[in-house]
């Protein structure tokens, strides 16, 4: 049987996972009566809730006499570390582009990596049934993008298909087929003819680890493509690191191959196939799994450096341990190290106090997904505000900071306020052009620091109509101080349960973040102050009772609904001296130092340092 390995590349929400569903359906991977969840490849709960792909996954279909291994890649720049490794496994790529939006930043990011390693792309224009579809203009934009990314003449001569993954068809023209006539056959045939068979090297067994996962029955499972040789269960192999040092030796307990949406145990795997192997305890992503006689490791793609870091620390609030069962530094450390093994874009560093860890990644979303996953597993954490990872230029001793390319699609009437707000955050405008339907496309180069917390402000300024996409651009000289949060906070001065009467009396001080009956403690943030300074308030003070009854006294207290803080919103909103307390049931905001006297001492020390 012939073999083809392809990746599906697209920006978030352009229809990758829906396309994979359709390919599986039409290739007969499901039975006629089999009930299958929509977006079957998004198996993770968070992926289903958010409608995004977080983890890269492989599947395979058989079309005529060809087995096609398909890799569904994440469409979000924060999970780019996943994408970079995946491209080592495949020989071709389907670049899926929305017929209305055109190529977006993440498409550019992954396509750039794919072209660099010599993959020949197939361009599929999806969602041509949308009312604002403009397929011909989008093709021109894709061509310009490829040319800007230094594609070769062969890569620029890409085949084009138009279609709708939702309706289940692809064709040579954007005209929809007659009812019940369309299918994915043109795409399958193009994959057969345009994508080269896997390049097989001579020699004994070698495989580059690409995806790592833990299985309760089989232990560590490593997925990758067999570069050379073949492998059978119980065969002796060893693991080499990127620099060639021996990590471990062992035997393969099981070989799993992708067959439809299931993984099936097989008794033999040849060069070129994408498989998963179990049985080794230490080998991880970017390591080479090979026969005992092999001495040189396979080359792994270099991974872009992390740009944002956060401090994860043991939850030391008075309510610690009341909601979660994983609260000690040891279990938090083990969980973070386990995450870093499977995600090469994450970096974990221990601090001197042993109760906190600095976690660095590609962006706020990647770290927020990690925190959300941990809280669902029963962890309690205190998390700091995201900080950017700065570098220093050794030649000039100049401080460098990460810069992102920001693309914002916004209605024309709101373009002015977006330009003003981003210029305050030290962003440089690169391009401004109409994108159809009275909308503008604004392109900026902005420091990552300035974008932390901007998403919510952007949606407020544009009445929820703007769409922002970000992509790491590079490091540039430090752009100076940026404006921070303008308002102070309201801090609880006692521990207990919040009282409606007290909250009602404090409403003129600022909007609240808690409801009556919620547990509070000294140092916990209960609301936003209307002024710049922080204010300690009493949210436990009840109404004085008398034996006189009047109509006005007995009126029910009507409270303004509190501000609802999601995890991402809370991380972006807090200041440097504040933390987000994350538990399986709650997200609370607090001061890092709960004692008011300690806070005053720390403030005086900061002021003295600033004067010095």
Q: Among 207-211, 295-299, 518-522, name the most confident range.
A: 518-522
Cβ atoms within 10 Å of 581's Cβ, excluding its own: 22
Work out the average pLDDT over 562-573: 87
Question: Same CATH topology for 2-194 and 206-290?
Answer: no
Whether residue 137 contacts residue 146, with contact meaning beta carbons closer than 8 Å, is answered with: no
Work out the average pLDDT over 489-495: 93
Cβ atoms within 10 Å of 477's Cβ, excluding its own: 12
pLDDT at 39 over 80: no
What's the rounded Cα separation, in Å, for the pair 69 and 59? 6
Q: Is 107 annotated as a binding residue?
A: no
Q: Is 595 annotated as a binding residue?
A: no
pLDDT tens digit string along 93-151?
999 999 988 887 667 777 888 888 888 899 999 989 888 888 999 999 999 989 888 88
Q: Distances in Å between the alpha carbon of 519 and those of 540, 562, 566?
A: 10, 15, 18
Work out the average pLDDT over 157-161: 92
pTM, to two decimals: 0.75
Question: Where are the chain's structural domains?
Answer: 2-194, 206-290, 391-477
- Residue 330's H or E segment, with its range, is helix 329-342
Q: Which residue has the higher pLDDT, 174 or 36?
A: 174
Q: Is 417 annotated as a binding residue?
A: no
Q: Which residue has the higher pLDDT, 344 or 505?
A: 505
Pairing relationship of beta strands 206-208 and 399-411 according to DSSP bridges: unpaired
Q: Which of the four pLDDT bands, split at 50, 70 and 90, describes residue 54?
A: very low
Q: Among 173-177, 204-208, 542-546, name the most confident range.
A: 204-208
Q: Which of the four pLDDT bands, split at 50, 70 and 90, describes residue 41?
A: very low
Q: What is the mean pLDDT of the chain?
A: 84
What's the rounded Cα separation, in Å, for the pair 194 and 475? 37
pLDDT at 386 over 50: yes
Work out the average pLDDT over 296-313: 82
Q: What is the SS3 assignment for 25?
A: helix
Written as six digits, the tokens of 393 are: 């230029």
Work out the average pLDDT over 247-257: 91
Q: At what angle do helices 16-26 and 185-194 cross, to 10 degrees?
A: 100
The architecture that CATH gives domain 206-290 is: Beta Barrel (2.40)
What's the rounded Cα separation, in Å, for the pair 421 and 172? 44
Q: Is 296 annotated as a binding residue?
A: no
Helix ranges, 411-499 (H)? 415-424, 448-451, 454-461
CATH homologous superfamily of 2-194:
P-loop containing nucleotide triphosphate hydrolases (3.40.50.300)
What's the rounded Cα separation, in Å, for the pair 523 and 317? 9
Q: Is 116 annotated as a binding residue?
A: no
pLDDT tens digit string along 7-29?
888 877 777 778 888 888 877 65
In this prediction, residue 32 carries a pLDDT of 44
Work out the average pLDDT over 82-90: 74
Q: Is 203 annotated as a binding residue?
A: no
Q: Is 18 annotated as a binding residue?
A: yes
pLDDT at 48 over 70: no
Cβ atoms within 10 Å of 266's Cβ, excluding its own: 16
Pick the CATH number of 391-477 from 3.40.50.2000, 3.40.50.300, 3.20.20.100, 3.30.70.240: 3.30.70.240
Work out the average pLDDT over 50-75: 72
What's the rounded Cα separation, in Å, for the pair 75 and 83? 9
pLDDT tens digit string along 274-293?
898 998 888 887 889 999 99
Q: Which of the four pLDDT bands, split at 50, 70 and 90, describes residue 445?
A: very high
Work out the average pLDDT over 45-53: 51
- Residue 493's H or E segment, with its range, is none
Q: What is the SS3 assignment for 269?
A: strand
Q: What percent of the chain has pLDDT over 70?
A: 89
Contacts of 58 (CB under 8 A, 6+ apart): 69, 70, 71, 72, 89, 211, 223, 258, 274
Work out the average pLDDT over 298-324: 85
Q: What percent of the chain has pLDDT over 90?
A: 32
In this prediction, residue 612 carries a pLDDT of 61
Q: Is 378 annotated as a binding residue?
A: no
Whether residue 411 contacts residue 438, with contact meaning beta carbons closer than 8 Å, is answered with: yes
Residue 222 forms beta bridges with which residues? 212, 277
Lowest-pLDDT choice from 74-83, 295-304, 424-433: 74-83
Q: Is 15 annotated as a binding residue?
A: yes
Q: Is 127 annotated as a binding residue?
A: yes
Whether residue 537 contacts residue 493, with contact meaning beta carbons closer than 8 Å, is answered with: yes
In this prediction, residue 258 carries a pLDDT of 81
pLDDT at 454 over 80: yes
CA angle 468, 94, 28 (to 5 degrees): 115
Q: Which of the four pLDDT bands, split at 50, 70 and 90, describes residue 509?
A: very high
Q: Distances in Å between the alpha carbon of 396 and those of 31, 264, 277, 390, 401?
A: 64, 56, 47, 15, 14
């Amino acid at each position: 049987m012939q073999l083809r390995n392809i990746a599906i590349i697209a920006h978030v929400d352009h229809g990758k996972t829906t396309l994979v569903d359709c390919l599986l359906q039409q290739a007969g991977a499901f039975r006629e009566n089999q009930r299958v969840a929509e977006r079957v490849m998004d198996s993770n709960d968070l992926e289903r809730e958010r409608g995004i792909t977080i983890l890269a996954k492989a599947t395979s279909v058989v079309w005529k006499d060809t087995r096609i291994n398909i890799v569904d890649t994440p469409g979000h720049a924060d999970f780019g570390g996943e994408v970079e490794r995946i491209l080592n496994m495949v020989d071709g790529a389907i670049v899926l582009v929305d017929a209305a939006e055109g190529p977006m930043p993440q498409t550019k990011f992954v396509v750039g990596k794919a072209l660099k390693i010599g993959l020949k792309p197939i361009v599929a224009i999806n969602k041509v049934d949308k009312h604002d579809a403009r397929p011909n203009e989008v093709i021109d934009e894709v061509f310009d993008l490829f040319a800007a990314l230094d594609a070769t003449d062969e890569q620029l001569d890409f085949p084009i298909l138009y279609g709708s993954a939702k309706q289940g068809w692809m064709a040579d023209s954007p005209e929809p087929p007659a009812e019940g006539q369309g299918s994915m056959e043109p795409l399958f045939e193009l994959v057969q003819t345009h994508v080269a068979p896997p390049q097989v090297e001579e020699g004994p067994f070698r495989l580059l680890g690409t995806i790592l996962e833990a299985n309760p029955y089989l232990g560590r499972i490593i997925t990758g493509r067999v570069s050379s040789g073949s492998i059978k269960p119980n065969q002796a192999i060893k693991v080499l690191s990127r620099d060639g040092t021996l990590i471990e030796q062992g035997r393969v307990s099981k070989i799993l191959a992708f067959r439809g949406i299931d993984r099936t145990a097989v008794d033999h795997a040849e060069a070129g196939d994408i498989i998963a192997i179990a049985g080794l305890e230490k080998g991880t992503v970017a390591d080479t799994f090979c026969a005992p006689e092999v001495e040189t490791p396979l080359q792994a793609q270099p991974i872009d450096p992390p740009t944002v870091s956060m401090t994860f620390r043991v939850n030391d609030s008075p309510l610690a341990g009341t909601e979660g069962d994983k609260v000690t530094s040891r279990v938090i450390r083990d969980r973070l190290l386990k995450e870093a093994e499977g995600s090469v874009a994450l970096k974990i560093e221990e601090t001197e106090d042993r109760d906190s860890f600095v976690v660095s990644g590609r962006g706020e979303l990647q770290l927020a997904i990690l925190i959300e996953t941990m809280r669902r597993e029963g962890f309690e954490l205190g998390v700091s505000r995201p900080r950017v990872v700065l570098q220093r230029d050794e030649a000039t001793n100049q401080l460098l900071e990460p810069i992102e390319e920001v693309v914002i699609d916004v209605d024309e009437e709101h373009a002015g306020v977006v330009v003003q707000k981003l210029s305050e955050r030290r962003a440089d405008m690169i391009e401004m052009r109409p994108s159809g339907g009275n909308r503008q496309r604004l392109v900026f180069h902005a420091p990552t620091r300035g974008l932390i917390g901007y998403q919510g402000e952007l949606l407020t300024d544009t009445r929820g109509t703007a769409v922002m996409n970000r992509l790491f651009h590079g490091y540039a000289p430090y752009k100076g101080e940026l404006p921070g949060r303008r308002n102070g906070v309201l801090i609880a001065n006692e521990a207990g349960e919040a009282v409606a009467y007290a909250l009602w009396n404090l409403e003129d001080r600022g909007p609240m973040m808690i409801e009556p009956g919620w547990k509070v403690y000294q140092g916990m943030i209960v609301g936003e102050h209307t002024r710049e300074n922080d204010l300690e308030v009493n949210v436990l003070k009840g109404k004085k009772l008398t034996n006189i009854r009047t109509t006005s006294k007995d009126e029910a207290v009507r409270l303004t609904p509190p501000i609802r803080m999601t995890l991402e919103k809370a991380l972006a909103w807090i200041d440097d001296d504040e933390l987000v307390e994350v538990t399986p049931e709650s997200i609370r905001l607090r001061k890092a130092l709960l004692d008011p006297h300690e806070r005053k001492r720390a403030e005086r020390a900061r002021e003295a340092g600033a004067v010095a």
